[in-house]
Amino acid sequence: MSRQHKETERSYEGALRGPISAAGLPGVASVRTGTTQRLDAVYFDTPDLRLLRRGVTLRRRTGGPDAGWHLKTPQPDGSRTETRLPPDGRRNRPPAELTARAAVHARGGRLDAVAHLRTRRDPTLLLDEGGCTLAEIDRDAVSAGLIGPGGTTSGAADWTETEVEAATAGPRLLDAVEERLLAGGLQPSASGTKLGRALHDRLAELPAGAPAARPAGPDAPESAGDCLTACLRTHVAALESLDAAVRLDEPDAVHRMRVHVRRLRSALAAHQRLLRKGSVDDIDDELRRLGRILGRARDAEVLGRRLTTGAADLPPDLGPRTTCELLETVFRDRYETAWRSAVQEMRRPRYFALLGTLEDLAADPPLRGRARRGRREAGKVLARQRKRTARRLRAALDLAPGHNRDEALHRARKAAKRARYAAECTEPLLGKPARRLAQRTKRVQKALGAHQDGVVGERAVRELAAGAPHDVAFRLGVLHARQRRDADHHVAVAAKAGRKLGV
């Protein structure tokens, strides 16, 4: 099982002569010299170094207190998340879990050994009054060789560097140590990592890769375009961060990724007048396709949970336990089939191409001139979405109960969701009006979502009952009758909430 921890470290070229003193270092009561370590690490990457170009490193290391497999990924605050797995006896292929976690960065490329680094590490520990380690200063003598096709090693290079890694220390101590090191003649490392230094020449020959840290939206947006840009960057980053969780089938991962896909589509649709005409049509098509693929797994998960919960409330003489077991088996199989299909799709070039396109979109959205306008333009976006929701809900409520009304209510629900997402997107600029619209449309969305769950549940039970043994069909018939028992209530709640939208 993997372990994760947050790593905050700084690297410097060269090493101080002589010991470092605790004097003047905030919170440091004493300094202790640690035991010399000899570290041997093989790093893995794609032939075109896709991991390294995104600030990611994957290695197998022996020696030291944390021998094993390590995957390090950069975070927006400058730290890195390190995922560790213990040694497994394999030398040439990374573990499946780390391969899955690195897939979004490798973009489908094969991971092979690219460098072999040997390090002699002489650590110095900075301790507080209780003897606990605040930070560690490591003097590293490094010997690096490049690994080419067939495992041949060449291009050996040697250098000395200093690493400072926080244990419990904050930026204040790290800044003080840095001041001491710079005064001693050291310079911040140009590469940031040992692997980056070892592969510097090879890296320089390759085209620029995606940035390790994507730009964030403005802290205080001044225009409708600023709001859209920040929204796109937030959800693209979130979608990519969930890639590994979906591949590893972590709880709720499929649902969360699907939500971010939907939010991206909603943002593009609601703000289409701010974007150059036709500039995001292909992106929307690809997002819709990905959403449908993820939706098959998510729908099986949600529907199975709903029907199993309902079956548990059946009368004792209808065998609620047996019915629950039947439903759990059916929908577990459906979920696993759909999840495997989704992961298979996420291994294809088409999926990785979409991620690259989304990164480009978030970095530089194709905004029109009107996107530079402020509150008034953002207000127009919300007004259009509010009216669209009210119009669809009004049309649905005018229909007689039946299939057509169910479909119309579902369309109204999707409109309410888009309006809600647009309001949340513009809230940093518009404040209370956007927050109020988000709350109102969320009420409509939630009520109509409960109604739609009943419609889908009814349809699913009917399909399951067709051709089932008589006793099973009878139990499912009772469950079928219960799917829509609260339908009128949900519609009434949506209608009441809709009146504040102008319905």
Domain co-membership, 135 together with 265: no
Question: Which secondary structure element, helix H or strand E, spans residue 486, and what is its range?
Answer: none
> What is the domain extent for residue 133?
3-204
Domain co-membership, 253 together with 391: yes
Instruction: State the Cα–Cα distance between residues 492 and 414, nearest whole angstrom.
Output: 18
Residue 14 three-state SS: coil
Domain co-membership, 168 together with 276: no
Instruction: State mean pLDDT over 432-455.
Output: 96
The 3-state secondary structure of 275-303 reads ECCCCCHHHHHHHHHHHHHHHHHHHHHHH
pLDDT for the residue numbered 222: 93
Tell me the per-residue pLDDT of 62-111, one tens digit each, with 9 for 90 and over. 998 889 999 999 988 888 999 999 988 767 789 999 999 999 999 999 99
- What residue has token string 């039946």? 402
Domain co-membership, 237 together with 200: no
Q: Indicate which CATH number applies to the domain containing 79.
A: 2.40.320.10
Instruction: State the Cα–Cα distance between residues 405 and 309, nearest whole angstrom.
Output: 27
Cβ atoms within 10 Å, residue 75: 14
Domain co-membership, 139 together with 263: no
Instruction: State the Cα–Cα distance between residues 150 and 127, nearest whole angstrom.
Output: 46
Q: Indicate which CATH number applies to the domain containing 459.
A: 1.40.20.10
pLDDT for the residue numbered 502: 85
Short-list 207, 52, 191, 189, CA closest to 115: 52
Looking at the domain assignment, is residue 215 inside a domain? no
Chain centre distance of CA 69: 22
Looking at the domain assignment, is residue 216 inside a domain? no
The better pLDDT of the pair 358, 208 is held by 358
Chain centre distance of CA 16: 40
Instruction: State mean pLDDT over 236-257.
Output: 96
Tell me the per-residue pLDDT of 470-484, one tens digit each, with 9 for 90 and over. 888 898 889 888 888
Domain co-membership, 293 together with 405: yes
Using only C-alpha atoms, the chain has a radius of gyration, in whole angstroms, of 28
Question: Which secondary structure element, helix H or strand E, spans residue 69, and what is its range?
Answer: strand 68-74
pLDDT band for position 16 (50/70/90)?
confident
Residues 6+ apart with CB under 8 A from 214: 233, 236, 237, 359, 362, 363
Alpha-carbon distances, residue 38 vs 44, 65, 87, 122, 157 (angstroms): 20, 11, 16, 9, 17
Is the confidence at residue 3, as pLDDT, over 50? yes
Domain co-membership, 326 together with 454: yes
pLDDT for the residue numbered 218: 57
Instruction: State mean pLDDT over 5-18.
Output: 91
Cβ atoms within 10 Å, residue 153: 13
Tell me the per-residue pLDDT of 30-70, one tens digit each, with 9 for 90 and over. 999 999 999 999 999 999 999 999 999 999 999 988 899 99
pLDDT for the residue numbered 212: 46
pLDDT band for position 213 (50/70/90)?
very low
Domain co-membership, 150 together with 297: no
Contact assessment for residue 15 and residue 80, using Cβ atoms and an 8 Å cutoff: no
Mean pLDDT of the chain: 93
Looking at the domain assignment, is residue 443 inside a domain? yes
Looking at the domain assignment, is residue 214 inside a domain? no
pLDDT for the residue numbered 278: 93
467: left (phi over 0), alpha (psi -120 to 50) or beta: left
Is the confidence at residue 227, as pLDDT, over 50? yes
Domain co-membership, 379 together with 486: yes
pLDDT for the residue numbered 438: 97
Instruction: State mean pLDDT over 435-447.
Output: 97
Looking at the domain assignment, is residue 409 inside a domain? yes
Looking at the domain assignment, is residue 467 inside a domain? yes
Provide the domain count of the chain: 2
Domain co-membership, 296 together with 193: no
Domain co-membership, 412 together with 486: yes
Looking at the domain assignment, is residue 427 inside a domain? yes
Instruction: State the Cα–Cα distance between residues 460 and 327, nearest whole angstrom.
Output: 11
Domain co-membership, 154 together with 231: no
Instruction: State the Cα–Cα distance between residues 267 and 273, nearest whole angstrom.
Output: 11
Alpha-carbon distances, residue 65 vs 39, 61, 79, 121 (angstroms): 10, 10, 21, 12
Structure tokens at 225: 């375009």
Contact assessment for residue 182 and residue 200, using Cβ atoms and an 8 Å cutoff: no
Short-list 196, 212, 195, CA closest to 74: 212
pLDDT band for position 155 (50/70/90)?
confident
Looking at the domain assignment, is residue 162 inside a domain? yes
